[in-house]
Amino acid sequence: MRSDARLLLLDKDAVEALLLPDEALEAVREAFTLHSRREGRVFPVVREALRTGGVFGIKSGDVESQGLLGFKAAGFWPANRAVGGEPHQATILLFDPATGRPTCVIDGNAITTARTGAAGGIGLQQLARPGSSHACVFGTGVQAQVQLEFALRLMPALRHVRYVTWKGEPDSRFEARFASRCNIAHASDANEAVACSDIVITATPGAGPLFDAQAVRPGTHLNCVGADTRGKRELPEGLLQRVRLFVDDATQARQIGETQWCPDAPCEEIGDLLTGKVAALRQPQDITVFDMTGLALQDLTLARRIHQRALTTGAGASVPWAW
């Protein structure tokens, strides 16, 4: 038995210190490209409801050429809020593919947040009209915040933001976070906010349709984040039949994404836009949707970069791990 091996542990503080927004964008672009070229594998997703009221999932994959193998165990436990905890929980584990030995345990919450925000930003760059100036955001939680962060970062014309909350009340902390970067205000009428927007971002728990289909006007782009489990949805009935639909992974989107509600709808993978396999060729009247279910490769490519930087900088805690 080898007794000199060690396992690196990177907690939340270490990950957040090592994580850079630009690197998240690079890692997610890399993940989409690897997936498009089928140079990285995405294994079947586990996503199951628990009797405790939580949802538990595993996303895994590998990139043989990079010696990259791992998984993210993650889920959502809404009852955590009542005890002052974070409902989203995620842990990433990287392995040596030659031996199966674990090499790094990484807190996955910050990685999940950053890579999903970056994926949304790439979706906007590829699919939204470049001059888009008005956005509507559903939700004010962690994912709504990071989606808007990347939207403002990557869409220079975006200046006006309306947001919708499930309680129908303003969120002063959400407004304060973005007040210096855009004209932001609470919207009491979801349909009106959607109708006035070039970009719609849905980042809610996916409990049901958030607005009426007829509110979406021609030329709108929608980034949909909340449907990531069987039975979840944010879009209204009849909308997907009217749009050009893009997904991160076609099989996964039909199983757990917004596309589960219209599985026969033609769709294209966003990675194929990045590699030139398909062209967006957006017409002014097109309505586009990016159904984001999250790829294991996004987690793994970003985790690999953080792991490498941690080894260089000495971050984290290293513990003996005989094998």
Judge whether 229 lies within some domain. yes
pLDDT in tens, 291-307: 999 999 999 999 999 99
Same domain, 135 and 26: no
pLDDT in tens, 253-282: 999 999 999 999 999 999 999 999 998 888
Same domain, 264 and 308: no
Judge whether 316 lies within some domain. yes
Output the six-digit token pair for 134.
């008005």
| Residue pair 212/236 in contact by the 8 Å Cβ criterion | yes
Same domain, 268 and 174: yes
Q: For the chain, what is the radius of gyration of the CA atoms?
A: 20
Same domain, 283 and 309: no
Judge whether 1 lies within some domain. no
pLDDT at site 147: 98
pLDDT at site 129: 96
pLDDT at site 1: 56
318 vs 28: CA distance, rounded Å: 27
Judge whether 230 lies within some domain. yes
CATH number of residue 310's parent domain: 3.30.1780.10
Same domain, 174 and 282: yes
Q: What is the dihedral of CA 151, 15, 70, 74, to 10 degrees?
A: -70
pLDDT at site 2: 67
Same domain, 273 and 177: yes
Same domain, 187 and 101: no
Overall number of domains in the chain: 2
pLDDT at site 302: 98
**DSSP secondary-structure letter at 83?**
G
Same domain, 199 and 91: no
Same domain, 99 and 161: no
Same domain, 198 and 81: no
Same domain, 162 and 74: no
pLDDT at site 323: 84
Domain that holds residue 169: 117-294
| pLDDT per residue rounded down to tens, the chain (323 residues) | 566 889 999 999 999 999 999 999 999 999 999 999 999 999 999 999 999 999 999 999 999 999 999 999 999 998 998 999 989 899 999 999 999 999 999 999 999 999 999 999 999 999 999 999 999 999 999 999 999 999 999 999 999 999 999 999 999 999 999 999 999 999 999 999 999 999 999 999 999 999 999 999 999 999 999 999 999 999 999 999 999 999 999 999 999 999 999 999 999 999 999 999 998 888 989 999 999 999 999 999 999 999 999 999 999 999 999 88
112 vs 294: CA distance, rounded Å: 9
